[in-house]
Structures are given as C-alpha cells and as structure tokens.
Structure 1
Amino acid sequence: MTTLLDDLVSKALRRERPTRSEALAVLGGAEELLDVVAAGAKVRREFFGKRVKLNTIINMKSGLCPEDCSYCSQRLGSATEILKYSWITPEAAADTADAAVRAGAKRVCLVASGRGPGNRDITRIETTIEAIKKDNPHVEVCVCLGLLSDGQAERLAKAGAHAYSHNLNTSEERYADICTTHTFADRVDTLKQAGAAGLSPCSGAIFGMGESDSDIVDLAVALRELDPDSVPVNFLIPFEGTPLGQRWELTPERCLRILALFRFYFPDVEVRLAGGREIHLRGMQPLALHLANSIFLGDYLTSEGQPGEDDRQMIADAGFVVEGVEEQTLPGARHDLVAVRRRGAGTGLPSNT
C-alpha cells in the first residue's frame, strides 16, 4: 500500500477527513483500484466488522411529482412508464414491512413523491408507523417525504420515526443543473430540521449525472459538515423519458472509487450501497461490500432490484453476515473524544481562544 493510501487509512481511523488533493487522487486513478478497495476495506472492518445492514424501501405514493429533478422518473413531465398511484394504506405498508423484516431488513424506508408533505400526509405516516411497529416494534423506520415544514419533523419523531432521509444528490455549484424547482439550501434546511427534532439524519448522493471529480469532493465535504448517521450512495438509473435517460458513463471502477472515497470521508458512518448498484457495478457488487456496510434489499422506488435471495447469497459468498436487529449499527460512544475543560474561566490557565 502506498503512502497516500496509508495516510488515508490512518486519517480515517482517527476520523479525520482527506485533504482535497488526496480525494482527487483517489478518484483520478493515482492508485490501483484493488489497492484503493483494500485501503477502504481496512477502515470498514475497523468500525463495522463483517456486518451488512439490510434496508428496504416502501414507495407510499408513486409518480406525479411537481418537482423537475432531472434524474427522477417521477418528475414533472416524465415520460417513463412507471407505476403511478396515490397513498397506499397503512395496513399494506405494514404487510410489506413485515415481509422485509422476515427477510432480514433492519430498516424500513417510507418514501412518497412530492415537494413535501402536507399535514394530512404526516398523519398518514404517523398511522403507518404505528401499524408497522405493532408487529415489528424494533424495526427502524426512516421517512423520506421531501422538504419539511415547521413542526413536521417533531411529529414524525414523536410518532416513532427513527430517521429522516433527504439526499443532497450533487454539489451545490451544479445543483441548478439538475433541478430548478427547489435549491440545495432547501435540502440542507430540511436535514437540519430533522436533526434538531431528534431524527437520525440520512443524506447522500447520486452519481453518474455528469459531475466532475471536484463536484464529488465538494459534495462529500458538504455532507460531512451535516454530520449524517447514514449516507446512501446511489448510481444514476437512466430511465428513458427523463432528461438524463441517455447517460451511461459509469463503470464499475468509477463506482468503487467513489465508494472508497466516501468510506474515507465517513469512516464510522453507515455508508449504504443504494440505487443503480446492479446495473453499474454488475459482477463487482461483492467487492463493493468491502466498502459499504449497508445495502437496500429488493426493489427501489420505481425500478426493480435483484431478488432478495440473491442479495443474501452474495453477502454470504463474499464472507459477510447480515446485521441483526440486536446489533448496534454505528460504533459506540467515543468518550476519548470528550475533553473536560481544564483551562479558562475558573482556572489559572488561559482559555483556548
């Protein structure tokens, strides 16, 4: 392993982020791919061992979104022939969640298309969480409803939601290139609302939309400043009928370098291998498990994933194990990071200013 990768591993184990030049070197191919994966795998093993957390998505309301996100098959003006339906019942969601939990899922993600929820929508989710928790009280429920209004995050937390998901998707500089109906700052504000309400912040990205290496690094830095507990890494699914439907520029190597970089930026955070992994990583999916410690099981919002049995077999074949409900995903408290003040007011020593 080279000095660059040695330094990245050492920094990650101390929870220090890469420098910009180091990050760009990882993406730019300065090091051999397998060496990069091995370095990222060392960090992954330190904090998460051989465990893989399984998550599943329940699409509560599909299609007919008024937003114009270029990557999305549910966007305003999309010609993609996806399923379109209004809210499914809490009972239907609970049945789907129960099947996923029995298949090994530890987290259930309730997702609905739209700019953001109205108060009636929050009530629907509250009822749905109650229905899911009735038979599966320990499952994590993550909610993804778009931009939040005042008080809505608090209602979700009180209802028993564990996390709120809202991806930044791409760098702030190029955000207007993929969406004009809301801003990067809108997304940041929603994540801060969720965190302030006690919800675990979940935020990640979509790659393969024409971003540069610098864009990827800018996004990683912005995400780290938000201090999320989980970071989904999506690879663009180029739906026909969307503005990005002809972009097929990702390679397995590119995807693995991005995953490794995110492991270096988020050493002790849940890095989730998300949408598009099957079509872009292809036969190299097992290698990605050495970097990501979490995956989505089964289908996505508007596209089908590989069968859950294939996912579980892949995990076993690669030498990993499915994380159990009783196991803690994130590393335990780091009391060595807490320094009791011994200077400044009340002491004879100057303050740290």
Structure 2
Amino acid sequence: MSLLETLAGKGLRREPPTRDEALALLATSDDDLLDVVAAAGRVRRHWFGRRVKLNYLVNLKSGLCPEDCTYCSQRLGSKADILTYTWLKPGEAADAAAAGMAAGAKRVCLVASGRGPTDRDVRRVADTIAAIKERGDVEICACLGLLRDGQGERLRDAGAHAYNHNLNTSEAQYGDICTTHDFGDRADTVRRSRDAGLSPCSGLIAGMGETDGDLVDVAFALRELDVDSVPVNFLIPFEGTPLAGQWALTPQRCLRILAMVRFVCPDVEVRLSGGREIHLRSLQPLALHIVNSIFLGDYLTSEGQAGQADLDMIADAGFEVEGADVPTLPEHRREAAPARDAAPLADAVPVPDAAPVSGARADLVAVRRRGAGTELPPNA
C-alpha cells in the first residue's frame, strides 16, 4: 500500500504524517492489518531496536478524587467496587516498587488520585522517592495531577526523572469526559513538567466514544507538546462509572490506533498501557512490534496480566527487556532534553532470568483488586 510506504518513510525521517494520512490509516481494513503492523514495526525498530522498556505502577493513594472524569473508577461519585485508601507510607511504597524492579522494571510510576498535589504531598512523594532509591537506582515518574508553581522543580530535585499527566482525548471532546478541569489545564501541566527539567509523559485513552478525528487530534497535540513518552490506554469500562458497559474497541482497531500514534510520534517511547489485556487479548504480541514500552503486572485499581506472562510474551515474540544501561530515548531526543539539576540515574537492578513476580502480586493484594466488575467484551 502506498499509504503505508509513505508513513513508514516519513517515520524513518522523523517527519509526521498529514492529518489526512493519519485518518486514512485508522480507516484501513482488517485485511491490511498485518501490513499496518509491519510498516509501524519498521519505524519502531529503527528508533528502538527490539527493546521493550518495563514500567511498574505504585498507587500511592486510591479513590476519593474530587474530579469527575467519566472514565475513572476513582472519580467523584464513583460506585466502582475498588479499594480506597490514603497515602501509603514511604516504606510500603518502596516494598511495592522493589517487586517490579526485581522483575526488570526500569521505571517506577508513583500515582496518587486527586486534582493536584499540595506542598505537603510533594514532600511525601520526595520521601517515597528516597525510600525507593535505597532499594536500587531506577527511573521515577510521578503522576499527581495538576502541577503548581515550583512543584515540578521540587520533584526533580527529590530525584524524579519524569512526570505523567495524560491529555486523554482531543480538546474538542474533553468537555464530554470531564467538567472539573479542562484540556488546557492538562496541557499546561505537561509544559510545566518539561520546564521543570522533568521528562514529560502524556498519553491518551481510546474507547470513550471518540471519533477518528479526536484520536488524530490528541496524537498531534502530544507531538506539539514534544513529550518523551506516550502511554496509550484502552478504556476499562468500570461498573459504577458513567462509561460502564462501553465496549467499543476490537483488537484490530487497537492495533491501528497504536500504529497511528507511532507514525505521528515516531521517535518517542510509545507505551502499551491500561486495558491492553482485555482489548488486545491474544493479539498483544503483535502490539510489541509497534510499541517499545509496557506496564508490567497490575494497574491502579485493576489487575493486569501476570508479570511472568508479560516477560514470557516479550521473549516469545523475539524482543528483549531494556536494561538500565541502555538509553531509553534516541540520542537526538536525549540531547534536546532540558538540563536537570538532579544527579543522573545509575544502573538499576539487573533483570533476573525469567524472574517470577507472583510474590509481588500477593504483596499488593491489600491495595489492589480487579476493578472492571464485568465480563469481557464480545470478540467482535
């Protein structure tokens, strides 16, 4: 297909597709799916080889959020059957993080529900970062909501490497999924994180009733913000939230969405994130030919695929876990990154051969449980 040849060629040159080309990719048929994956795979391998970066989530504070994001099980008024708890102590969070690090996670993502952190919350997270760093050097990404003046700098000085704040959807659709803050608020926090010397991480959620145009618009918005990593989530329609029962995705559509993001952001870390197990199902290994990063194990309020299954999938598909001594981003992106006052990260915990993480899942049973509360969608 000439479209795919054009997209792959542009991706190898770091050129974005046109909006019409991105829309045309999303409109390709299932008959062309393997060609789509192969074309996106050329771009992925050019910039990242066959490496897969592992990330591990630690939910520092769950539920009781004052924001009304319709997709979220932790939202204001949520009836979702999830555990709610206040801040984990630094040692508890470090114990959870250590389980992921032992299985090869290069980045630990510290997440807390809420509109945004108070200065006291920033101090809590700084103490948690210190406790985790005592277990081994690892990238730390904070995800605490909307940032205020000086907070990003304090997180950077505490040893954080990155800050995550997802755009989630297009500016045009944003009012349909949230009323307590807007698209501009989220984009502002992404800019603040970069200005503070943190690596900006921001992504999207597919499956919320958006159009192809919305997906393309948010992808281009992320490119314009020049983020370093793009988590692509697929909606988990939690019972007890406004989007319960909304199963609009197929495995094939998920792969096309991932490919579109890869072509729009060719040299950026694209991370396969929440909902991959229930939407991609048996096609998850194909996604590894497009993305270069995944979350290991569980998510915030729902269980993921067993960690050992993730490691087996990576190996069986012919990929390798990215080690701490390998730069995550291509050289030109690392050179363009803002200078950081914090000391550079050293090598992290070595990846053990076929490291089981069953113990890690058992350790987290007190703060996590399956949250979707519904049967898997039909394979349609």
Q: What TM-score results when the alignment is normalised by the length of structure 1?
A: 0.93
Instruction: Work out whether 1:198 is the aligned partner of 2:197.
Output: yes
* Other structure's SS at 2:46 match: helix
Instruction: Work out whether 1:226 is the aligned partner of 2:225.
Output: yes
C-alpha displacement of 1:333 = 2.6
Output the CA distance in 2 between the equivalents of 1:174 and 1:5.
28
Output the CA distance in 1 between the equivalents of 2:140 and 2:28.
38
C-alpha displacement of 1:194 = 0.7
**Equivalent residue runs for 1:311-350 within 5 Å:** 311-333=310-332
In structure 2, the partner of 1:49 is 49
Please give the per-residue CA displacement for 1:144-200, whole angstroms capped at 9, x wherever unaligned.
000011110010011010000000000000100000000000001111111000000
In structure 1, the partner of 2:280 is 281
**Equivalent residue runs for 1:121-132 within 5 Å:** 121-132=121-132
Please give the per-residue CA displacement for 1:316-353, whole angstroms capped at 9, x wherever unaligned.
1101011111111111137999xxxxxxxxxxxxxxxx
In structure 2, the partner of 1:169 is 168
The change in CA–CA distance for 1:334 and 1:166 in structure 2 (over 3 A counts) is closer
**Equivalent residue runs for 1:1-353 within 5 Å:** 2-29=1-28, 32-137=32-137, 139-333=138-332
* Other structure's SS at 2:53 match: strand
Give aligned-pair identity as a percent.
Answer: 68
Please give the per-residue CA displacement for 1:221-276, whole angstroms capped at 9, x wherever unaligned.
11100000000000000100000011001000000000000110111110000000
The change in CA–CA distance for 1:335 and 1:192 in structure 2 (over 3 A counts) is closer
* Matching residue's letter, 1:49: G
The change in CA–CA distance for 1:125 and 1:5 in structure 2 (over 3 A counts) is same
Output the CA distance in 1 between the equivalents of 2:335 and 2:213.
34
Output the CA distance in 1 between the equivalents of 2:21 and 2:148.
39
C-alpha displacement of 1:86 = 0.2
The change in CA–CA distance for 1:58 and 1:334 in structure 2 (over 3 A counts) is closer
* Other structure's SS at 1:108 match: strand
Please give the per-residue CA displacement for 1:260-303, whole angstroms capped at 9, x wherever unaligned.
00110111110000000000000000000000000000100000
* Other structure's SS at 2:224 match: helix
* Matching residue's letter, 1:94: A
C-alpha displacement of 1:134 = 1.4
* Other structure's SS at 1:271 match: strand
Output the CA distance in 2 between the equivalents of 1:336 and 1:100.
29
In structure 2, the partner of 1:347 is none
Output the CA distance in 2 between the equivalents of 1:232 and 1:76.
24
Output the CA distance in 2 between the equivalents of 1:21 and 1:117.
39
* Matching residue's letter, 1:83: L
Output the CA distance in 2 between the equivalents of 1:190 and 1:126.
19
The gaps in structure 2 that reach 5 residues or longer are: 337-380
Output the CA distance in 1 between the equivalents of 2:333 and 2:70.
41
Output the CA distance in 1 between the equivalents of 2:318 and 2:334.
32
In structure 1, the partner of 2:366 is none
Structure whose CA Rg is larger:
1
Please give the per-residue CA displacement for 1:79-124, whole angstroms capped at 9, x wherever unaligned.
0010100000000111111111110100000000000000110000
Output the CA distance in 1 between the equivalents of 2:133 and 2:247.
40
How many residues in Structure 1 have an aligned counterpart in Structure 2? 335
Please give the per-residue CA displacement for 1:193-221, whole angstroms capped at 9, x wherever unaligned.
11000000000000000000011111111
C-alpha displacement of 1:135 = 2.1
* Other structure's SS at 1:99 match: helix
Output the CA distance in 1 between the equivalents of 2:82 and 2:228.
31
Stretch of structure 1 that moved more, 50-59 or 28-37:
28-37
Q: What is the root-mean-square deviation in Å for CA atoms of aligned residues?
A: 1.3
C-alpha displacement of 1:6 = 0.7
The change in CA–CA distance for 1:240 and 1:67 in structure 2 (over 3 A counts) is same
The change in CA–CA distance for 1:265 and 1:134 in structure 2 (over 3 A counts) is same
Output the CA distance in 2 between the equivalents of 1:322 and 1:302.
25
Output the CA distance in 1 between the equivalents of 2:196 and 2:66.
27
* Other structure's SS at 1:55 match: strand
* Other structure's SS at 2:23 match: helix
* Other structure's SS at 2:332 match: coil
* Other structure's SS at 2:200 match: strand
